[in-house]
Structure 1
Amino acid sequence: MATVTFVDESTAGARTPAWALRIFEERLTLRELIRRRIHQEVAECNAAASAPRRLLVQRTPTERTLNGEPAERSRRRIDPERQVALAEEAFTRNGFVVLVGDRQVEELDDEVDLRRDTEVTFLKLVPLVGG
């Protein structure tokens, strides 16, 4: 059994506190690892009485406004499968890269080795101004 530690960072220097998830397999595809991470986050968000930690993929305030969503976070249940689809799309558009240990995983269907204390970093790429 592996304990996978998830860390979210951005190229702008932001870093969220790490959190861990136990995974029983020794090898998973990146797609499955992302799916499990999101299902855990969504379960915690849906069960939380107060504002939960940020999900891997979220709409920007501008996107929420354009979609007619309320400015404040509603307490509607979050759909984990929709969040998985958004994360996969963001990954394929280079919205973030994933590092497992010191190795970048380049494809969703690439398998990753999970050891006892594997650190998985989700590095959100921030577009350059003017580029």
Structure 2
Amino acid sequence: MPMITIADEVTGAPSGPVWTMKVFEDEVRLDELIRRRVFLEIAASGVDADPEERTRTTLDAFGRNAFVVLVDDRQVTALDEKVRLHAGSCVTFLKLVPLVGG
């Protein structure tokens, strides 16, 4: 069961938190990967939150281009796209910051 790295980044800011996560398959749909990441973040933070509601909010944000997902430096553009994972894969959630005035 391979371990992958999950990282948060914001353009123009220091890197955010990094987690490791076990995966049980070689391919997973992006929406499922996002769901797992949300559940991982909530568990790590200890915050009392509804993970299903937070997942819906996060998937909606992806649809509005609030962030992009990079898997091993390759952008994944569709929620139903299957991504290949292997031991050592790095999944980066990159929050996009609009240009001033844009």
* TM-score where L is the length of structure 1: 0.73
Q: Which runs of 5+ in 2 are unaligned?
A: none
Return the match for 2:70 from 99, 109, 114: 99
What is aligned with 1:121? 92
Q: How many angstroms does 1:11 deviate by?
A: 1.2
What is aligned with 1:10? 10
Between the aligned partners of 1:124 and 1:115, the Cα distance in structure 2 is: 24
What is aligned with 1:78? 49
SS of the equivalent of 1:25 reads coil
Q: Structure 1 vs Structure 2: percent identity of aligned residues?
A: 49
Q: How many angstroms does 1:17 deviate by?
A: 3.5
Q: How many angstroms does 1:88 deviate by?
A: 0.2
Moved >4 Å (runs of 4+) = none
User: Is the contact made by 2:2 and 2:88 (CA closer than 8 Å) also made in structure 1?
Assistant: yes
Q: How many angstroms does 1:2 deviate by?
A: 2.0
Aligned length: 102
Bigger Rg, structure 1 or 2: 1
Alpha-carbon RMSD across the aligned residues, in angstroms, is: 1.2
**Deviation sequence 1:5-56 (CA, Å, 0-9, x none):** 011111123311421011111100010001011112212333xxxxxxxxxx
* TM-score where L is the length of structure 2: 0.93
SS of the equivalent of 2:65 reads coil
Between the aligned partners of 1:130 and 1:107, the Cα distance in structure 2 is: 28
